[in-house]
Amino acid sequence: MEIRKAKTQGFCFGVAITLKKAEEAVADSENGTVTTLGHIVHNPQMVKSFEEKGLVNAHNVDDVEAGTLFVRAHGLPVEVFEKASAKGLSIVDATCPMVTKIHVQAEKLRADGYKIVVVGDPNHPEVKGTLSHVPGAWIVQAPQDVDALPRASRVGVVVQSTWSGAGFTAIVQKLSSKYYEVRAVNTICTDTHNRQNEAEALAQEVEVMVVVGGKTSANTKHLADLAATRGARSYHIEGPEELLPQWFDGVAVAGLMSGASTPGWLVDRVEAQMEALSRRAS
Ligand code: SF4
């Protein structure tokens, strides 16, 4: 079986920066206990490795008594930064620059008089952070959500960094049919955009697509869904132990790609296991 790997593999630059800053923070004993709100990245292997290095995970800033609050690539709501400062916590801010750009674009649109629409999952931490910069913004996940939105003359749109490009386009089209003026800024990050394009192209060349990444990773899930819509039998896995031999029965060409928070070494292990399964079948 031939295995075709997508060009973009391993961590995106935002996750790589976050992990480097987290390594430095936990290594610096002057920081006291270093706490993240939620897992450092959507990847169970990396979460475990950082837990072993002493990184603590909390659900709420109210639960952090002292030391350092480490802000993940997703960012945090403005009020959480304020609370952490008021409590005297040190803050290491590793918000991805592409996420900060979304906050800036949304604030700019609001300052220009647009009613803000955020396209994304309201339960995703990145979106919660964005909404805190533009309180009262409307949140939309699908074109049909637009029907229920109130009247406005001008709407300004930003989108979750890891959203699907096709999903964003469909929502902007629907908004354009309802509102007089729509100004949409495509804030899907370059890494997500590249991986989605590669998923579409590769899925048309292979029979089976394996996508490696945390089950809670939005961008990994979108890649697996996208590959499936382009005709590949698609599997979203977190590690090589989930691969089943029967997935590759009679398969001549399989594809392999990963989400933005998946380490390169994990993709290599999955590739090695796919090769082993293929050798066993032949
Ligand atoms: S997926 Fe994009 S926005 Fe998210 S951390 Fe990576 S580069 Fe930044």
Write down the architecture of domain 13-95 according to CATH: 3-Layer(aba) Sandwich (3.40)
Q: What is the pLDDT along the chain (282 residues), one digit of tens a residue?
A: 999 999 999 999 999 999 999 999 999 878 789 999 999 988 888 899 999 999 999 999 999 999 999 999 999 999 999 999 999 999 999 999 999 999 999 999 999 999 999 999 999 999 999 999 999 999 999 999 999 999 999 999 999 999 999 999 999 999 999 999 999 999 999 999 999 999 999 999 999 999 999 998 888 999 999 999 999 999 999 999 999 999 999 999 999 999 999 999 999 999 999 999 988 766
The pLDDT assigned to 263 comes to 93
> b/e for 166-201, b at 16 or more Cβ within 10 A?
ebbeebbebbeeebeebebebbbbebbeebbebbbe
User: Which residue out of 107, 126, 181, 207 is catalytically annotated?
Assistant: 126
Both tokens of residue 69? 């609050």
Convert the chain into a string of H (helix), E (strand) and C (coil). CEEEECCCCCCCHHHHHHHHHHHHHHHCHHHCCEEEECCCCCCHHHHHHHHHCCCEEECCHHHCCCCEEEECCCCCCHHHHHHHHHCCCEEEECCCHHHHHHHHHHHHHHHCCCEEEEECCCCCHHHHHHHHHCCCCEEECCHHHHHHCCCCCEEEEEECCCCCHHHHHHHHHHHHHHCCEEEECCCCCHHHHHHHHHHHHHHCCCCEEEEECCCCCHHHHHHHHHHHHCCCEEEEECCHHHCCHHHHCCCCEEEEEECCCCCHHHHHHHHHHHHHHHHHHC
Instruction: Quote the pTM value.
Output: 0.92
The pLDDT assigned to 43 comes to 84
- 13-27 helix and 97-111 helix, angle to the nearest 10 degrees: 110
Most informative mutation of 17, 43, 163, 192 for ligand 1 (most atoms within 8 A of CB): 192
CATH class of 2-10+191-281: alpha beta
CA of 159 relative to ligand 1 center, distance in Å = 13
Point out the ligand 1 atom lying closest to the alpha carbon of residue 219: 1
Enumerate the CATH 3.40.50.11270 domain ranges in the chain, comma separated.
13-95
CATH of domain 98-188: 3.40.1010.20
Enumerate the CATH 3.40.1010.20 domain ranges in the chain, comma separated.
2-10+191-281, 98-188
Residue nearest to atom 7 of ligand 1 (CA): 14
The pLDDT assigned to 200 comes to 95
Residue nearest to atom 5 of ligand 1 (CA): 14
To the query of whether residue 242 is one of the catalytic residues in this protein, the response is: no
Most informative mutation of 43, 101, 161 for ligand 1 (most atoms within 8 A of CB): 161
CA of 269 relative to ligand 1 center, distance in Å = 23
Residue nearest to atom 6 of ligand 1 (CA): 14
- 44-52 helix and 13-27 helix, angle to the nearest 10 degrees: 20
CA of 122 relative to ligand 1 center, distance in Å = 17
Residue nearest to atom 8 of ligand 1 (CA): 14
Contact residues of ligand 1, CB 6 A cut-off:
12-15, 73, 96, 98-99, 161-162, 189, 191-192, 219, 260
